[in-house]
Chain A
């Protein structure tokens, strides 16, 4: 009986393990509506029953920027490459904020969604993708805040020299940030299904990593001897390039940027391989 059918077409085949590299982008595409709805859900549900609603998007980076201004600018008197402090810190805060939010939220993918994952099948990759996308909306809103502030300083103070010719790099920077957040988040989420220890590592790891990235200081301030350490961080060139485009100061090097690109691609590939392996059976261990 079954021999008769073996050569026919089957839509779904469920087998124990599939190859590491078989990533099912086709089915992710089939579920694109779900992706948009999840992004919408994140966005809508987050601010239900709040009075200020999406204004909270502005409050957080503004307060953080003011905090840095006081501590690192006024108290520690750290140099900002001669740039006005507010746009300098704000640029770092929103870029780092986007990365760290994407990373922490995607790293919880399996644990927070175990309830849904345990009941129905859909391509698991949809969830981390939706997280990165809804954070992207947040980044967009916060970026407009940065633009307003930047224009103000551009007109009132003449210290910034925007590099208009490099503006096309901006979307690439966003893709790199999203890719790094997604890739690392996916790796962490896959590993935490079995070993929850990594969650603790991640929460303070991100805080520490911020200081290994030129968020509150310019790269030029780092001592020559240890600069390679900070440059080795793929996020460094992203922030430096961002600042260079808008303010004309910063260590912009094509090689640094290319390095970040390569690292991002490697992390994404490794991440999707691990994710692919774990998503089939994680329900048994989560």
Chain B
């Protein structure tokens, strides 16, 4: 059995919202008065759940009773919505601030990369900053010296190494900063959203480096990102944070799926728990989802991918002439087309009692880049309407293939961008 690199037990963090102002001194005095009499801090009980969109009291639990452990050499992806408490958790782990209750224990040094370039001094040269930044991150001078060439090569800034970093482009700055951090000899590395900056080539380099760090060197990495592709390529395990509490831990794929299907995160899927499945008459809706050809929910579509709309439902009785209709709408709500699984063939007109899934395939090389809506309607024509206007949305992220061949050109005009047949005839 592998050893645990980090153990987090019952960690909570209470924050006070609003400005720190004149109220502070009275609260401090009150707290002190309670402590003298051996009573609990009165403001701990006032803490409320971390929900950013609802109004409430002044005190909020940014993180509440979070416990989990990370094995050595594991790459743990921490996912969650903005404001769910991911960064607070990382701040606690990197000892930027202390938890209100609970404890965290770790084996080895923890180095955090919460924001690249921390402690870079604009007036100092790249060389001086490598040493300074390395030291801030906890390396000794000797360690930095031995890694110096590697860092400079990784960042690709040999030419500018003796120029003050204030003259660097922002990309160079980030490369250098990440280079220093990635070459740290800490046993535990914490990385928060660094991939948001830098070009694609550099992002791949970073992911590659982090992979090396964990797989070859056996170090533990905690990685926070909203980029699910990066999380999936890097991480083996995941932790989902929702409203300040730990919603799930385990293998990364189920965690990502759960994150993507959690409320309002992404409407590529609608699913319901057993208790509240929408039911109208004889039909119980089970799920509606927009998947790729491999049945994945989290993958981005390109224009060449087939898009599948799955509608799962259960018939409590036999039904004749049932029709599932899907409308494809453009981002501004214009109906592009409308299609249904209705069939006039006699044998298929009757659907007997049981569970069904109707799957619509929108072929590749048909949609343009952009956002689309799918509206689902279930009815028996001219007889009965069961469900109406159930809306899902999905994105097509890039144009990969059209008449120009493989391309990443700007978005072509038009609601759709099918590859159609052309014949060129010379008269």
> A residues touching B (Cβ–Cβ < 8 Å)?
1-2, 5, 9-17, 30-31, 33-34, 36-38, 40-41, 44-45, 48-49, 115-122, 194-195, 280-285
A120 touches B114 (CB 8 A): yes
18 A-B interface contacts by CB (under 8 A): A1-B69, A12-B105, A12-B106, A13-B105, A14-B93, A14-B99, A31-B135, A31-B138, A37-B132, A44-B124, A116-B119, A119-B118, A120-B119, A121-B95, A121-B96, A195-B24, A280-B97, A280-B98
> B residues touching A (Cβ–Cβ < 8 Å)?
3-4, 7, 9, 15-16, 20, 24-25, 28, 69, 91-112, 114-115, 118-119, 121, 123-124, 128, 131-132, 135-141, 164
Interface of B is mostly: mixed
Q: Which of B20, B99, B132, B140 contacts A285 (CB 8 A)?
A: B20
Q: Which of A5, A16, A280 contacts B4 (CB 8 A)?
A: A5
Q: Tell me the complex Cα distance, A20–B114, Å.
A: 29
Residues of A within 8 A of B104 (CB): 12-14
Q: Tell me the complex Cα distance, A279–B114, Å.
A: 19
Residues of B within 8 A of A2 (CB): 4, 7, 9, 69
Residues of B within 8 A of A49 (CB): 123
Q: Which of B25, B99, B119, B128 contacts A16 (CB 8 A)?
A: B99
Known contacts A14-B92, A16-B100, A121-B94: does B112 contact A41 (CB below 8 Å)?
no
A11 touches B138 (CB 8 A): no
Q: With A12-B108, A281-B98 given, name 8 new contacts (CB 8 A).
A: A5-B4, A12-B104, A34-B135, A37-B131, A41-B128, A44-B124, A120-B111, A122-B138
Q: Tell me the complex Cα distance, A40–B128, Å.
A: 10
Return the chain A residue nearest B122 by Cβ: A45
B136 touches A122 (CB 8 A): yes
The 5 A-B pairs with the shortest beta carbon distances in the complex, nearest first, are: A121-B95, A34-B135, A280-B98, A14-B104, A119-B118
Known contacts A2-B7, A2-B69, A120-B137: does B132 contact A41 (CB below 8 Å)?
yes
Return the chain B residue nearest A32 by Cβ: B140
Q: Tell me the complex Cα distance, A30–B137, Å.
A: 12
Known contacts A37-B132, A116-B118, A119-B115: does B106 contact A10 (CB below 8 Å)?
yes
A116 touches B132 (CB 8 A): no
B94 touches A120 (CB 8 A): yes
Return the chain A residue nearest B101 by Cβ: A16
Known contacts A16-B100, A120-B118: does B123 contact A48 (CB below 8 Å)?
yes
Residues of A within 8 A of B69 (CB): 1-2
A194 CB → nearest B CB, Å: 6
Q: Tell me the complex Cα distance, A102–B52, Å.
A: 43
Q: Tell me the complex Cα distance, A31–B132, Å.
A: 11
Residues of B within 8 A of A31 (CB): 135, 138
Residues of A within 8 A of B131 (CB): 37
A14 touches B96 (CB 8 A): no
Instruction: Specify which of B96, B104, B121 lies most central, judged by the most chain A CB atoms within 10 Å of its CB.
Output: B96
Q: Which of A11, A15, A48, A283 contacts B96 (CB 8 A)?
A: A283
Instruction: Specify which of A1, A10, A44, A45 lies most central, judged by the most chain B CB atoms within 10 Å of its CB.
Output: A10
A11 touches B108 (CB 8 A): yes
B108 touches A16 (CB 8 A): no
B224 CB → nearest A CB, Å: 14
A99 CB → nearest B CB, Å: 26
Return the chain B residue nearest A196 by Cβ: B20
Residues of B within 8 A of A11 (CB): 106-109
A48 touches B103 (CB 8 A): no
B11 CB → nearest A CB, Å: 8
B154 CB → nearest A CB, Å: 20
Q: Tell me the complex Cα distance, A49–B103, Å.
A: 48
Residues of B within 8 A of A40 (CB): 128
Q: Tell me the complex Cα distance, A78–B124, Å.
A: 46
Residues of A within 8 A of B128 (CB): 40-41, 44
Q: Tell me the complex Cα distance, A186–B4, Å.
A: 37
Return the chain A residue nearest B143 by Cβ: A33
Q: Tell me the complex Cα distance, A172–B101, Å.
A: 44
Known contacts A2-B69, A14-B104, A116-B136: does B121 contact A41 (CB below 8 Å)?
yes
